Structures are given as structure tokens and as C-alpha cells.
Amino acid sequence: MDLGISGKTALVCGASKGLGYGCAEALVREGANVVIVARGAAGLDAAARALSKVAADAGSRNFVKQVTADITTAEGRKAVLSLHSEFDIVVTNAGGPPPGDFRAWNRETWIRAIDANMLAPVELIRASVDGMATRGFGRIVNITSSAVKAPISFLGLSNGARSGLTGFVAGIARSSIAAKGVTINNLLPGSFETDRLQATFVGSAERSGEDLDTVVTRHKQLIPARRLGTAAEFGAICAFLCSVHAGYLTGQNVLADGGAYPGTY
Ligand SMILES: NC(=O)c1ccc[n+]([C@@H]2O[C@H](COP(=O)([O-])OP(=O)(O)OC[C@H]3O[C@@H](n4cnc5c(N)ncnc54)[C@H](OP(=O)(O)O)[C@@H]3O)[C@@H](O)[C@H]2O)c1
């Protein structure tokens, strides 16, 4: 299927590895120009080189640009938007907040989580949505978490901050921009094979004293698909949400979790 986004320009945040990289790669394969963002310059360089190769192998002339920045800060977003401001596609993403006991968190802990996982996406939407509406096409995909639908007790900062973003998106996606070709959706990962998930498994193994294989195998048994998802699978769903074919799909929370969420709706 031709997704119809060749030549469109996408901002993909948190894209030097993991799910963000998967989204950037899928968009590049579709012929989109991409601007990728991460804090670590070395990882970002490597990702930009890999994406340029994907584009070249596909015979595409689209560009891959990179901005080394912390997207959760005003300075970081300014650096990105000064390189390019008229994005057709914006994929918001940053690292998730740390796990822990809510009794240990103070106001500063909460503000950091809300800044990263709620206000940074809100600011990127604010910076891009009106231009998209004027040009008659726009796609915003926020990478959130399955924890928005099925909260995880020790990820209270993630449950809380991402739920705030989810509520905001539910309203704004249905505002006047909906009639102007702009969609905003949230893409909710369950368990995907990335460095972040691996670190979570390592932490669980250390806490329980079990070996890593035992922890990972047990986790997979809880997923009807009996496996972890891949960043490429996640990217393919993201690219579809960004496609011309998904113009009637907005304000949704799309869960990609191998069937792990046990609800009917
Ligand atoms: N993997 C899963 O199964 C899963 C499940 C549920 C939710 N999630 C959520 O999905 C998101 C992506 O997870 P992932 O597994 O892909 O993580 P990952 O493998 O750790 O990759 C995170 C990427 O984001 C970049 N990044 C982190 N903080 C950033 C910041 N402040 N500004 C700019 N770039 C930043 C990282 O590069 P630098 O460190 O160099 O900046 C890296 O490129 C996270 O919010 C995570 O909580 C993931």
C-alpha cells in the first residue's frame, strides 16, 4: 500500500533508537523527510547514518536531519523548530519517567514527569497544529504507553502524566482542526524489545534474584502473542497513522500490545 506521504516532512522525537527510531525508519521507507531528535550525539549520528542508508537503498531523495537536544526543555524544542518549523507529521516521544513508590516523589519529581510526558507533547502540538491546518494536512502521533489503559502500580509518574496528555488530546483532536485534515492520535506500546524494556527486565531480575531469562520468559507468557513486539512493527503502525489513508482516524488511543490488555474495548 502506498501510504501517500512521500515528500512530507516529519519530526520524530526520541529517535536515536527504540520505538522512535522504528517510527523514523518506517516514515523514511515511505519517502518522508525526517528530522530526528535525541540527547546523545553519538547515538543520533549513528541513527541518522542508518536512516540515510535506508533512504538511499529505497532510491529516495528525501532528507534526514538531526538535532541533538532534550525535547522536554523549551531550549531543546526551540533548537528543533529553528531548524525546521513546518512539519506535516510530528511524532512526540521521550524517555519514560522512572518507576518507584509514590511516597518518595515530591513536587519536583512530578513536574519533571509532567514536563517530559505531558507538556512537551502539548508544546509540540501547539507549535505545529495551526500550520498543518492552514496547509490542509497534518498527522500527530504521541507515543504514550499501555499504562494509560492498564496502569502499572510502580509507574505512577507515567500513569499520571500520560493520562493528562491523553485527556488533552481527546479534546483537541475533536476541535476545529479535525475538519482541516489534521489528526492527533496516541500510540500505546505494550512490551517492545528496546533498551528501555531490557533495563526494566534487568531491574526486575536484580530485585527478585532470578536470572534474566526467567524474568523475560515469564513476561512473555503473560502476552497472548507470547513474544515482545519489535520497533519495526511499532513503526509500521505509526506510519499508517501518518498516512493519507488514516485521515478519518483521530482522537484515538491505539494499543499495540500483542493482546496483553484483557478488555473488550
Ligand atoms: N519499549 C516498551 O515496551 C515501552 C512500553 C511502554 C511505554 N514505552 C514508552 O515509549 C517511549 C520510548 O521507549 P523506548 O523503549 O523506545 O525507549 P529507548 O529504547 O530507551 O529509546 C528512547 C529514545 O528517546 C531518546 N530520548 C530519551 N529522552 C529524551 C529527551 N528528553 N529528549 C530527546 N530524546 C530523548 C533516547 O536517546 P537519548 O537518551 O540519547 O536522548 C532514545 O533515542 C518511552 O516513553 C517509554 O516509556 C515503551
Asked whether 37 lines ligand 1 (CB < 6 A), one says yes
Our mutation pick for probing the ligand 1 site, out of 11, 13, 17, 201, counting the most ligand atoms within 8 A of Cβ, is: 17
* pLDDT tens sequence for the chain (265 residues): 999 999 999 999 999 999 999 999 999 999 999 999 999 999 999 999 999 999 999 888 899 999 999 999 999 999 999 999 899 999 999 999 998 999 999 999 999 999 999 999 999 999 999 999 999 999 999 999 999 999 999 899 999 999 999 999 999 999 999 999 999 999 999 999 999 999 999 988 998 999 999 999 999 999 999 999 999 999 999 999 999 999 999 999 999 999 999 999 9
Read out DSSP for 188-252?
EE-SB-SHHHHHHHHHHHHHHT--HHHHHHHHHHTSTTSS-B-HHHHHHHHHHHTSGGGTT--S-
User: So what's the pLDDT on residue 43?
Assistant: 98
* Ligand 1 proximity of 197 Cβ (cutoff 6 Å): yes
- Residue 59 is predicted with a pLDDT of 87
Whole-number Å distance, alpha carbon 190 to ligand 1 midpoint, is 13
Beta strands at 138-143 and 9-13: parallel, antiparallel or unpaired: unpaired
Instruction: Give me the pLDDT at residue 60, please.
Output: 84
Cell of 103: 511516597
Q: Which three cell numbers stand for residue 53?
A: 542508508
Give the Å distance between the CA of 57 and the centre of ligand 1.
27
94 within ligand 1 shell (Cβ under 6 A)? yes
Closest-CA residue, ligand 1 atom 6, reads 145
Q: To test ligand 1's pocket by mutation, which of 39, 157, 186, 193 has the most ligand atoms within 8 angstroms of CB? A: 39
Tell me what pLDDT residue 90 has: 98
Q: Supply the pLDDT for residue 174.
A: 98
C-alpha R_g of the chain: 18
From the CB of 14, is ligand 1 less than 6 Å away?
Answer: yes
Bridging pattern class, strands 33-38 and 138-143: unpaired
